[in-house]
Each structure stands twice: as C-alpha cells, then as structure tokens.
Amino acid sequence: MKVTAVFDIGRTNKKYVLFDENYNIVEEFSENLPETVDEDGFPTENIELLTKWVKDHWAALLSNEKYDVKAVNVAAYGASLVHLDANNKVLTPLYSYLKPFPPALLNQFYSTHGDPTRIALQTGSPALGMLNSGMQLYWLKYTQPEVYKNIATTLHLPQYILYLLTNRKVSDYTSMGCHTGLWSFEMWDYHDWVKSEGIHKKLAPLLASSSFIYRHDDKGIQSGFGMHDSSAALVPYRMAMKQPFVLLSTGTWCISFNSFSSKPLTFDQLERDCMNFLTPEGSGVTASRLFMGREHDYQTARIAAYFRVKPDFYKSVTLDEEILKMDTPPFYSACMTGNGPEPAANTQEWQISAFSSAESAYHHLMVGLVGLLHKSLNLIAVNEVSSIFVDGGFAKNQLFTKLVARTFPNHKVYASELPYATSLGAALHVTRPERYEFKDAIKAIEP
C-alpha cells in the first residue's frame, strides 16, 4: 500500500500516522515518553530518547513490506530548539519553553536592543521569555558562551525531526514565525536584533516550504520541510475552503487564526494577547489567544462542587431558551488575568449561589466565555471573513457552538471533527493534491 507518513510530535504524545492515497488513516501509533531534567533540574523533553524513538520507528516503517512510503512530513510543537555541533551531535538538553528567563539577562537584552513594546510589535511576539525561542539562543550566548560557540546549526524541533528522517537541515516559516521574536513582520526578514547578535548565522537556511525528493536506498521519497503543529492544523481548511475563514482551535488555550489578515500588530492587539504567525509559504497569519479551556475547567469544578453533581455534568447540558432569558449577574473570569482580550486583573468572582441549578450556572459560564471570544475574534478582523470553524474539544459542546452561531449571525459557523487535523495538514502539505474535501468531518451549526 502506498502511504504518506507523518511524525506528529506533541508535548505529551509522540505519534506517527500513515495515510493512504485518499487521506484515510491506515495506521496510527502513539506513545508517551518520560521526561528528563536539564542541568538546572528543570523538567524537559528527553531529546536522546525522542531521537531514538523517531529513528527506530522510521527504520521499522521503511522495512515494513506492507507499506510503500511515498512521502513523509513532520508536525511538532514550537518554541523548542535543538543545537548541533559540526559533527551533528546534539549539544544541549531540549530546554523547556516553560523554563524561567533570568530577569537580569532580560534587562540586558532590552538595554541593548530597545523598547520591549516596539520589538514585540515588530516581531508579532508578545514578550514571553523562553517561549520566544529566539531568546533561548540569546540566553545560551550569554550564559553558556562555550556551548554557543560550538553550535554549527540550530533547528526548531519540527525541522530537527525532519533532519533525522532525511538528513536535510532547513528552517521553515511556520516555526520561524511562531512567537519566536526572531522575525520582523515589518521588514519580512530576521529582526535587526537577531542580525546584530549574529544569531541568524546559527540558523539553518530559511526556505518557503514546498517539498523535495531525497533518496532512500534505491527509491525516492517526497518530503516536506516540517511544520509547527498549529500551522499544520490550518492546512486542511486552507485547501478545502475557497472563501476567507477564521479557525478557532480550542483546548486549554483557544487560539483563533485568521490567515487572510497579515497586517503588523497594533499596540491594542499586542496588549490583548494577539500575535502573528506565518504560513508555510511565508505569508502572515494574525492570531488571538484566550485561556478558555482552563477557565472552563476551573468554573465547571466550582459549579459541580456547589450543586454536588458529577464533574462532567456539563457534557449533557444543551441550550435551554428559558434559561437564556433569565436575568443574570455579570460574568467575571478567574483564569485570564494578564492574557486574553481583557488583560486587567479581576477583583470579583461571579456568585454561583445566584443560580438555581448547575444547568443555569453553566449557561451563564458559556455565555460569558462566548462574550470574551467575541472580543477576541474581533481583534483579528473576524468581520472580514465569511466562516468560522470550531476545532478541538469545544466543537463537541452543543451549547458553545450554538452560542457562537448566535453571536455571529452573519457568519457560517461549523463544528469540525478532524481528530488528526495536525497530521492531516502535514500530509496534505507534502503531497499537495489538486483538491481536498472535508467529507463528513464538518457540520454546519444552526443558531
């Protein structure tokens, strides 16, 4: 069977997925790998274990007589760098983007390179410490200068996995444009601070992602350049939809992507948790973040405890018109201080005792969350597109999707059930079919 293989590397799950020529999944293998710690004792990905896992499974796939691997690509989480020496040996742990950035070094950076807000606006990257992967290289340069000096090539994680598969070193736009602090969305080039520090010389050549053929034994296999996972999830929608849309990728963080808006960020957008991304071809994507999943989990736990119902009571709650007509107190978020469209700290908490049932309290929560989502989507020019796709966990929440449809009556709202959207996007991008259709994975939502 002719297949396309995708290595989809998440923080928790490492998996490979095999697609047939019609993009149906024919095999999927997933595994959790134990973490390790860096030299400071901070938890992080075990890069040696991950390297062995990828190599072993790739070798097994290539030798499996059931499959004829025609193409391969990678999707992986961002803000993580692998540093190789001249002999292609990994020099450092895969430092976690959650690792604290030294305040003194941060002060040194801005004293040297200028105003934090100006740099954040130009790079489309809120100041997020190690989550700005460019800052990881700056940190290495000044805290471990001997290690930094021995770096021959730095790769983002998706491109490192690709290197393990193909022996080719590249940088791609999706990883470079993912809140790295490296890319200037004004100049469409590396930012001035990157050049003045010489950091760009450590990075592999940056290429607009297409595909290339590499030789394995006596056959050629088509390969992509590797992709940041969020950008990979956009690909199926971009290929299937003819009209502009916004993709709402829901989970703990809900990130809304408008790939039809590529303007540099404004100060207001930056202050309200927006950022820029890049498509594989190097065009701009405007995104906004909302800590909606975390807020939902926190508040549903409060509701369940107060009314003494099961923690997952909300899964059976459907839209009730009578509850929506009730007068309710204001909604206050508890988990969004410093992020989202309302970054100011909240000093109040909405009172569950004002409601007569878990169902009515849950309606209040969801109306409040969709109200915040409305503000978040307005920040990325949602009124300039015709459709909204809800992907991820909230796509299965009937109350949520119906409230979204009512909040945006001039848009077509769809709930998407693409369980492997990231893997599928990576597969589609390397094979580039003339046409792709969603089949039964998309459902239109009636208000």
pLDDT digits over 265-311, tens only? 899 999 999 999 999 988 899 999 999 999 999 999 999 999 999 99
- Mean pLDDT value across residues 55-75: 96
For position 213, what pLDDT does the model report? Answer: 87
Q: Cβ neighbours of residue 75 under 8 Å, at least 6 residues apart?
A: 6, 7, 8, 9, 158, 226, 227, 228, 229, 232, 422, 423, 425, 426
Measured CA to CA in angstroms, residue 140 lies from 47, 161, 258, 409 at distances of 17, 22, 34, 50
Answer whether residue 347 shows pLDDT above 70: no
Answer whether residue 393 shows pLDDT above 70: yes
Query: Cα(220)–Cα(214) distance, rounded to whole angstroms?
Result: 6
For position 155, what pLDDT does the model report? Answer: 98
Buried b / exposed e over 35-60, threshold 16 CB at 10 Å, is eeeeeeeeebbbbeebbebbeebbee
Element (H, E) at 58: helix 47-63
- The band of 146, judged by pLDDT with boundaries at 50, 70 and 90, is very high
Residue 7's nearest CA partner among 82, 63, 72, 80 is: 72
Query: Cα(95)–Cα(136) distance, rounded to whole angstroms?
Result: 8
Q: Please say whether the dihedral angle defined by the alpha carbons of residues 169, 173, 177 and 183, taken in this order, is positive or negative.
A: positive
Query: Cα(389)–Cα(387) distance, rounded to whole angstroms?
Result: 7
The second-level CATH assignment, the architecture, of 2-225 is 2-Layer Sandwich (3.30)
For position 261, what pLDDT does the model report? Answer: 81
For position 219, what pLDDT does the model report? Answer: 80
Contact between residue 425 and residue 233 where contact means Cβ atoms under 8 Å apart: yes
Contact between residue 84 and residue 90 where contact means Cβ atoms under 8 Å apart: yes
Tens-digit pLDDT profile for residues 157-183: 999 999 999 999 999 999 999 999 999
Task: State the fold for domain 228-447.
Answer: Nucleotidyltransferase; domain 5 (3.30.420)
For position 437, what pLDDT does the model report? Answer: 86
Phi/psi at 428 (nearest 5 deg)?
A: -65, -35
| Fold match between domain 2-225 and domain 228-447 | yes
Residue 293 three-state SS: helix
Where would I find the H helices in 114-216?
Answer: 116-123, 133-143, 145-149, 157-166, 173-176, 192-197
- The band of 348, judged by pLDDT with boundaries at 50, 70 and 90, is confident
Question: ∠ CA 70-74-75 to the nearest 5 degrees?
Answer: 140
Answer whether residue 217 shows pLDDT above 80: no
For position 435, what pLDDT does the model report? Answer: 82
In terms of pLDDT, which residue wins out, 328 or 306?
A: 306
For position 48, what pLDDT does the model report? Answer: 98
Query: Cα(119)–Cα(227) distance, rounded to whole angstroms?
Result: 25
For position 345, what pLDDT does the model report? Answer: 58
Contact between residue 289 and residue 273 where contact means Cβ atoms under 8 Å apart: yes
Q: What is the residue type of 146?
A: E
Question: ∠ CA 135-293-427 to the nearest 5 degrees?
Answer: 65
Q: What is the mean pLDDT of the chain?
A: 93
For position 58, what pLDDT does the model report? Answer: 97
Share of the chain above pLDDT 70, in %: 99
Q: How far separated are the first and last CA of the chain, in Å rounded?
A: 44
- The band of 212, judged by pLDDT with boundaries at 50, 70 and 90, is confident
Contact between residue 29 and residue 15 where contact means Cβ atoms under 8 Å apart: yes
Model-level pTM? 0.90
281 CB neighbour count, 10 Å cutoff: 11
Strand pairing category for 36-37 and 43-44? antiparallel
For position 170, what pLDDT does the model report? Answer: 95
- Mean pLDDT value across residues 365-373: 96
Query: Cα(31)–Cα(15) distance, rounded to whole angstroms?
Result: 6
Tens-digit pLDDT profile for residues 85-112: 999 999 999 999 999 999 999 999 999 9
Residue 254's nearest CA partner among 157, 123, 388 is: 388
In the chain, where are the structural domains located?
A: 2-225, 228-447
For position 340, what pLDDT does the model report? Answer: 83
